[in-house]
Amino acid sequence: MYQTTIKKAVELVGIGLHKGTPVRLRLEPLESNSGIVFYRSDVDVAIALIPENVVDTKMATVIGKDGVVISTIEHLLSAVYAYGIDNLKVIVDADEVPVMDGSSASFCMLLDEAGIQELYIPKKVMRIKKEIIVQEGEKYVKLSPSPDLKYDFTIKFPHPVINQQEYVLEFTKDSYKNEIARARTFGFLHEVQYLRSKGLALGGTLENAIVLDDKKILNPEGLRFPDEFVRHKILDAIGDMSLIGMNFIGNYEAMAGSHDLNHKLTVELLKNPENYEVVELVGEKTADLEKAYA
């Protein structure tokens, strides 16, 4: 199995969640062993996708360098990861990736348009060798060794529409597209009002997020899945975990996980080389590992 990039450059324009202004997003192919690189075309700054460049995790995953930031990268990265793309240049002309409809479905469509190109250099994946857990009170995120890849996420919210939800994704590209990609981000009306008072979430609407008041969903079309909330948390986690620099094989488990806990998990994982091994997907011995990214 080989490293991949996209066959051709593609682009779209969407609204930024926080500024509420149009953002142009362009994806371009890169050579093997380049990784995922973000580039701010308006200020001519490139930012490598590594945990050390994460500068904020409060509302989204934000990377930065020399005071230049790119926010809300996780939905795009979630799709890139699911498609098994190893090398890609992500160009934006503002400080955030466009939110689109609040899910990763638009980015999946963009990648389908771009196509996947093999690069004839063996693909590398990270095999989890030891259990790693980051815990804060009842909340935790965990990686553990496994011959396949699963995301097991549980959320609890004191809201009559959400309550407790759990979802287990047995990861493949197809299962991601069918079960996860269309799940939208969500927020509460009082939070949106507060953020707007601070000059944030100016692009947030019922067309790009699920919004709830104290009792119900405000979106007239309702939910795409009965458990859309926890499915979106898995979408976020997949994007956040892509900052380890490659696809991985192992189980991810979370109780009320967050961008912050996911970031701390990637740092903890990479801190000790004994936690993992990097495997090149060549030969019969890696056939099982290849299934998730076929």
Indicate which residues carry an active-site annotation.
259
CA–CA dist 222, 203 (Å, integer): 20
Query: In whole angstroms, how far apart are CA 287 and each of 33, 141, 147, 175, 256?
Result: 22, 28, 11, 19, 33
Helices and strands in the chain: count of H runs, count of E runs: 7, 19
The tokens describing 248, both together, are 């991985």
CA–CA dist 105, 84 (Å, integer): 16
Q: Are strands 36-40 and 88-92 parallel, antiparallel or unpaired?
A: parallel
Q: What interhelical angle do 74-82 and 105-114 show, nearest 10?
A: 50
124, amino acid identity = K
CA–CA dist 10, 7 (Å, integer): 9
Residue with tokens 């409060």: 58
Describe the strand order of the beta sheet including 88-92 as a list of residue ranges. 10-15, 22-29, 88-92, 36-40, 45-48
